[in-house]
């Protein structure tokens, strides 16, 4: 008996109730029913991002939403600082290159997050910078940046802060208005536990002013078009209606459970996983670890592709490998969305079994016991 | 995040692929398509029961199939021996009473299984007995009877043996023809991992002779009517077509995986659970334990309804309590059907967490580590 369990940091597992919701007969999007659903979903997105700002839904991936935000916020005459501490940050740099956006890069060692101090220095070094682009939870390295601190110094400078919250929003603390973030981005296939296909941007009034100040070299990804349509809870282009129906279902559930409780639960699973790794004599990669995904270093003598293959084919657990120069050196386990403590014990148990079979010296039960101790402590 | 996981010894969890199969549009049963499906399913049922005998599918529960077999095999002039070692055996005694079937009862202490020796004695004590009714895996007490041994002495006597295999067939070794069993019964909602609604009887030629020898005081549950319809792969009364479609899907999968491998896997989960219980200083109830379900005794000072409630409401694990005089004294965990090693570690972990919260002295991780050791040993 082999069950499939997705522990990749996106796509993540989709709840059965959401699959059923999305399986209902399709309806047209130019209807009062769709507009009503879309209105409610956008109200709930504000709760998700903890903001009063206008949220925008694009049928596309998180990359589409991030590109729309970067291109919209960086017309000619502006300059962006791209904080680059991983594979996804690199992608936002590539957006700047592709669209000839004036930018400079702040390189940060992989595994580390950015903070107010390094951003302050970069801002002081280049007075032209008026836009900062930062990844909160860098999925490739599992490093967390201090968005609250960075937002503070960005605001002081009067610059606009665009945050890639793709593996942050709905998983770990995100407080757009409290922190003073201008644009927050996320996607459907992470903590929102939906299939891939929707990107979201929450856009502050300050950011809208910038976006309105010039013509965007984009049609499909022009945030202005989405905002205009949203005046009638409508869309400029045909939306993924079944995903939006699933979205409403998920957002209602998130509201019911409460973000604070979800953040605490994600943190608990991450802590249990890190303790398990330690007990198994495995190192975690990130110096500043995020709680939405954990990177565990593959120990000497263990073949990473074989490890993942056996986890998947023998035990049904799908985990992710490393990207870039981390390929073959780490595996990554998600703590986002539709995953609970018992799934997490399962993936740790499967990793124990696989490592043992691959000759790594390990006492069966050592990892899961360390994780269970964390769970028992939290269950008091 | 709470996921629901059924560990009750029926209904058990249904695979997603089966749910999807059953969700397909309904089709009429008086069609060539239905007959083709029904024919293939009945061929595969013979593999399931390990028999060349005619198998019969009744839309109803396992009780319907057992009643049909008992009533059909015990017309006036015959006498049944009902081996009574639990709640389900009691039900077959009640069938005899209800239909005025001449019978005598062999009482066996709960938790024990029957074997050739006790059945031989009972047969010697009453020369009129020509039918033996026995439960292989008594779900209420989790005791296993030795059907191979009992079939041997029953055959020597020339009596007909009816076996309730409801939590045995598809979970633990069942070899109808090798052993010489005359009627084997099962239901859909156990090892067949389907929703409830189908009962099955595999009926030997010897049993059909007996069934044909008299008029059965039954209409819906008259096995003869089913056998006659099966000549054209048809049904006498409207069948649960979606369940039969799911059945074909499940049986193909069981054939592909192979019964021996499934039996080994069920045994492994049971062994891991028993070792976990021991490591948690918990006693298991059965003296002759079956591998399809494990009864764990509730320790002194722990409230059984509260234990099950917390397992269910806090952790999403549905386990069963005791029946009859075992109510409040045991809980039962299934190892049948769509359940794997990681689900099993999960239910043990949830039990650890719940017992600890209820004040039972227990080191977190002790149960799951013992189970993991069994799994690691088997994973070599």
Neighbours of B97 (CB within 10 A): 10
Beta carbons within 8 Å of B272's beta carbon, 6+ residues apart: B341, B344, B345, B348, B370, B371, B372, B374, B375
CATH hierarchy code of domain A17-257: 3.40.640.10
Q: Would the CB atoms of A376 and B353 count as touching at under 8 Å?
A: yes
CA angle in degrees (0–180, nearest 5) for B298-B303-B307 = 80
Beta carbons within 8 Å of A176's beta carbon, 6+ residues apart: A49, A50, A51, A53, A184, A202, A204
Helix (H/G/I), strand (E/B), else coil: A258:
coil
What residue spans of chain A are helical by DSSP H? 16-23, 32-49, 62-73, 87-98, 116-125, 147-157, 176-179, 205-212, 223-230, 241-257, 259-279, 304-315, 341-357, 366-378
Query: Which residues in chain B have Cβ-Cβ distances shorter than 8 Å to A376?
Result: 352-353, 356, 364
Would you kindly state where each structural domain of chain A is located, as residue ranges?
5-10+258-378, 17-257
**Quick one: tokens of B217?**
């005081």
**Quick one: tokens of B176?**
């109808």
For chain A, 380 residues long, the average pLDDT of each consecutive 10-residue run is 94 95 91 96 98 97 97 97 97 97 98 98 98 98 98 97 98 98 98 97 98 93 97 95 97 98 98 98 98 98 97 97 96 98 98 97 98 97
Q: Which CATH number fits domain A5-10+258-378: 3.90.1150.10, 2.60.40.10, 1.10.3720.10, 2.40.37.10?
A: 3.90.1150.10
Convert the pLDDT of each residue in B348-358 to its tens digit: 999 999 999 99
Q: How far is B10 from chain A (nearest CA, A)?
A: 17
Burial group, residue A92, by CB count within 10 angstroms (0-12, 13-18, 19+): buried
Say if residue B1's pLDDT is above 90: no
Q: Which of B240, B89, B259 is nearest to B162 (CA)?
A: B89
Convert the pLDDT of each residue in B132-149 to its tens digit: 999 999 999 999 999 999
Dist CA A160 CA A310 (whole Å): 46
ipTM of the complex as predicted:
0.89
- Asked if A361 has any chain B CB less than 8 Å from its own CB, the reply is no
pLDDT at res. A1 = 85
Predicted model pTM: 0.93
Q: What percent of chain B has pLDDT over 90?
A: 97
Dist CA A94 CA A88 (whole Å): 10
Convert the pLDDT of each residue in B154-166 to its tens digit: 999 999 999 999 9
Backbone angles phi and psi of B51, in degrees to 5: -150, 160
Q: Which of A175, A158, A145, A221 is nearest to A53 (CA)?
A: A175
Say if residue B347's pLDDT is above 90: yes
Task: Give B78's pLDDT tier (boundaries 50, 70, 90).
Answer: very high
Convert the pLDDT of each residue in B247-296 to its tens digit: 999 999 999 999 999 999 999 999 999 999 999 999 999 999 999 999 99
**Chain B residue with minimal CA distance to A339?**
B1
CATH hierarchy code of domain B16-257: 3.40.640.10
Beta carbons within 8 Å of B133's beta carbon, 6+ residues apart: B70, B80, B81, B82, B83, B89, B92, B96, B162, B164
**Chain A residue with minimal CA distance to B365?**
A369
Q: Which of B348, B365, B366, B369 has the most A C-beta neighbours within 10 Å, making it the best mutation to test the interface with A?
A: B365
């Amino acid at each position: 008996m082999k069950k499939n369990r997705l522990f990749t940091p996106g796509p993540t597992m989709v709840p059965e109730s959401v699959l059923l919701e999305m399986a209902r007969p399709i309806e047209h999007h130019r209807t009062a029913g769709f507009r009503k659903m879309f209105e409610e979903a956008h109200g709930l997105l504000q709760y998700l991002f903890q903001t009063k700002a206008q949220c925008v839904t694009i049928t596309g991936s998180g990359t589409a939403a991030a590109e729309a935000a970067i291109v919209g916020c960086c017309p000619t005459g502006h300059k962006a600082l791209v904080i680059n501490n991983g594979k996804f940050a690199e992608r936002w740099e590539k957006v700047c290159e592709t669209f000839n956006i004036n930018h400079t890069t702040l390189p940060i060692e992989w595994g580390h997050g950015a903070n107010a101090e390094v951003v302050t220095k970069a801002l002081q070094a280049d007075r032209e910078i008026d836009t900062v682009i930062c990844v909160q939870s860098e999925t490739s390295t599992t490093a967390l940046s201090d968005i609250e601190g960075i937002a503070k110094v960005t605001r002081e400078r009067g610059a606009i802060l665009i945050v890639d919250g793709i593996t942050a929003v709905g998983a770990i603390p995100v407080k757009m208005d409290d922190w003073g973030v201008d644009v927050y981005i996320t996607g459907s296939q992470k903590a929102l536990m939906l299939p891939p296909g929707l990107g979201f941007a929450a856009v502050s009034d300050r950011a809208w002013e910038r976006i309105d100040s010039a013509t965007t070299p984009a049609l499909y990804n022009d945030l202005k078009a989405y905002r205009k349509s949203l005046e009638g809870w409508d869309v400029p282009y045909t939306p993924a209606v079944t995903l939006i129906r699933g979205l409403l279902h998920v957002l209602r559930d998130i509201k019911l459970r409460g973000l604070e409780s979800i953040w605490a639960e994600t943190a608990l699973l991450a802590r249990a996983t890190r303790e398990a790794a330690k007990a198994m004599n495995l190192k975690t990669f990130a110096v500043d670890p995020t709680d939405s995904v954990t990177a565990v270093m593959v120990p000497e003598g263990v073949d990473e592709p074989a490890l993942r293959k056996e986890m998947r084919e023998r035990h049904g657990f799908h985990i992710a490998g490393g990207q870039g120069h981390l390929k073959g050196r780490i595996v990554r386990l998600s703590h986002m969305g539709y995953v609970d403590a018992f799934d997490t014990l399962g993936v740790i148990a499967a990793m124990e079994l696989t490592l043992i079979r691959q000759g790594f010296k390990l006492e069966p039960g050592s990892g899961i016991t360390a994780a269970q101790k964390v769970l028992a402590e939290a269950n008091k």
